[in-house]
Amino acid sequence: MTEPTKRLAAASEDALWRIFTVPEAPDSTLSIIEQNLSQNLAGFLRESIVALEKPLWQIERDFQAHQIPLSPQFVSDYAESMMQKLVAHSVHTASPSFIGHMTSALPYFVLPLSKMMVGLNQNLVKIETSKAFTPLERQVLGMMHHLVYGEKDNFYKKWMHSANHSLGAFCSGGTVANITALWIARNRLLKADGDFKGIAREGLFRALKHYGYDGLAIVVSERGHYSLGKAADVLGIGRDYVVSVKTDADNKVDVAQMQQVLTELAAKNIKVLAIVGVAGTTETGNIDPLAQLADLAEQFQCHFHVDAAWGGATLLSDQYRHLMAGIERADSVTIDAHKQMYVPMGAGMVVFKHPSSAHAIEHHAEYILRKGSKDLGSQTLEGSRPGMAMLVHACLQVIGRDGYEILINRSLEKARYFATLIEHNIDFELITAPELCLLTYRYVPAQVQKAMAVATSEQRQQFNELLNGLTKFIQKRQREEGKSFVSRTRLTPAAYDRQETIVFRVVLANPLTTEQILHDVLVEQDQIAQQNKEFYPKLLQLAKTLTG
For its own copies, give the closer residue by CB, 342 or 536: 342
CA distance 418 to 56: 32
# of chain residues touching its own copies (CB under 8 A): 178
Nearest to 349 by CA among 332, 359, 335: 335
Q: How many residues are present in the chain?
A: 548
Give the residue, chosen from 1, 51, 116, 256, that forms a contact with its own copies under the rule CB under 8 A.
116
Smallest distance, its own copies to C-beta of residue 4, A: 14
Is residue 208 close enough to count as binding its own copies by CB under 8 A?
yes
Choose which of 95, 97, 130, 357 interacts with its own copies (CB under 8 A). Answer: 130
Contact criterion met (CB below 8 Å) for 13 and 39: no
Residues 235-254 that bind its own copies (CB under 8 A): 235-241
Rounded Cα gap, residues 227 and 210, in angstroms: 28
Give the separation between CA 421 and CA 62, rounded to whole angstroms: 42
Q: Does 211 bind its own copies (CB under 8 A)?
A: no
Say if strands 501-507 and 438-443 run parallel, antiparallel, or are unpaired: antiparallel
Query: Which residues are paired to 487 by β-bridges?
Result: 505
Q: How far is the CB of 458 from its own copies (least distance, A)?
A: 25
16 lies in the binding site for its own copies (CB under 8 A): yes
- Judged by CB under 8 A, the chain residues 78 through 97 that form the site for its own copies are 78-79, 82, 85-91, 93-94
Q: Identify the residue among 1, 47, 201, 545 touching its own copies (CB under 8 A).
A: 201
Considering only 71-79, 246-254, 298-306, 430-438, which stretch makes contact with its own copies by CB under 8 A? 71-79
Shortest distance in whole angstroms from residue 503 CB to its own copies: 10
- We find the least distance from the C-beta atom of residue 89 to its own copies, in angstroms, to be 4
Interface with its own copies, residue 403, by CB under 8 A: yes
Query: In whole angstroms, how close is the CB of 457 to its own copies at the nearest point?
Result: 24
Show Cβ contacts of residue 429 under 8 Å, excluding neighbours closer than 6 positions.
422, 441, 442, 443, 444, 449
Does residue 4 belong to the site contacting its own copies (CB under 8 A)?
no
Residue 38 interacts with its own copies (CB under 8 A): yes or no: yes
* Cα-trace Rg, the chain: 26
Binding mask of the shown chain, residues 419 to 458, with x at each position contacting its own copies by CB under 8 A: ----------------------------------------
- Site residues for its own copies, 512-541, by CB under 8 A, read 512
Rounded alpha-carbon distances, angstroms, from residue 488 to 112, 378, 423, 474, 513 = 34, 40, 19, 10, 19
Q: Which of 52, 119, 194, 267 binds its own copies (CB under 8 A)?
A: 119
186 membership: H or E segment, kind and range = helix 174-189
Site for its own copies contains 113 (CB under 8 A): yes
Cα→Cα distances 203→382, 448, 515, Å: 20, 58, 55
318-347 residues near its own copies, rule: CB under 8 A: 336, 338, 344-346
Nearer to its own copies, 363 or 519 (CB): 363
Q: Regarding beta strands 215-221 and 270-278, do their DSSP bridges make them parallel or antiparallel, or are they unpaired?
A: parallel
The least CB distance from residue 479 to its own copies, in Å, is 8
Q: How far is the CB of 78 from its own copies (least distance, A)?
A: 5
Of residues 194 and 548, the one with the C-beta less far from its own copies? 194
Is residue 336 within 8 Å of residue 310, measured between CB atoms? yes
| Chain-centre distance for alpha carbon 95 | 18
Cα gap 457→302, rounded to integer Å: 43
Measured CA to CA, the distance from residue 386 to residue 172 in angstroms comes to 9
With contacts defined by CB under 8 A, name the span among 322-330, 451-459, 486-494, 520-528 that binds its own copies: 486-494
* Residue 480 interacts with its own copies (CB under 8 A): yes or no: no
Q: CA–CA distance from 407 to each of 107, 113, 342, 507, 509 (Å)?
A: 12, 21, 10, 14, 8
Residues 143-182, interacting with its own copies (CB under 8 A): 143, 145-147, 153, 156-157, 160-161, 172-176, 179
Pick 346 or 520: Cβ nearer its own copies: 346
Stretch that binds its own copies, among 228-236, 411-419, 456-464, 532-540 (CB under 8 A): 228-236
Q: Which stretch binds its own copies (CB under 8 A): 70-78, 427-435, 448-456, 460-468?
A: 70-78
- Which residue of 46, 268, 371, 490 would you call a contact of its own copies, by CB under 8 A? 490
Site for its own copies in 265-324 (CB under 8 A): 282-283, 316
Q: Mask of contacts with its own copies, 347-366, x by CB under 8 A?
A: -x------------x-xxxx
| CB contact at 8 A, 500 and 432 | no
Q: Where are the beta strands (DSSP E) in 264-352?
A: 270-278, 303-307, 332-336, 348-352
Considering only 394, 419, 508, 509, the residue that binds its own copies (CB under 8 A) is 394
CB 134 within 8 Å of CB 124: yes
The 10 Å Cβ neighbour count of residue 35 is 13
Helix/strand/coil for 296: helix
Considering only 46, 115, 268, 498, the residue that binds its own copies (CB under 8 A) is 115
Q: Does the protein bind its own copies through residue 397 (CB under 8 A)?
A: yes
387 lines the binding site for its own copies (CB under 8 A): yes
Report the distance separating Cα 170 and Cα 385, nearest Å: 10
Q: Which residues are paired to 196 by β-bridges?
A: 193
The residue range among 105-113, 324-332, 350-358, 455-463 that interacts with its own copies, by the rule CB under 8 A, is 105-113
The distance of closest approach from Cβ of residue 537 to its own copies in the complex, given in angstroms and rounded to an integer, is: 27
DSSP string, 348-393: EEEEESSTTGGGGG----SSSS-TTS--GGGGSS--S---THHHHH
First to last CA, the chain: 78
Helix, coil or strand: residue 491: strand
Q: Does 139 bind its own copies (CB under 8 A)?
A: yes
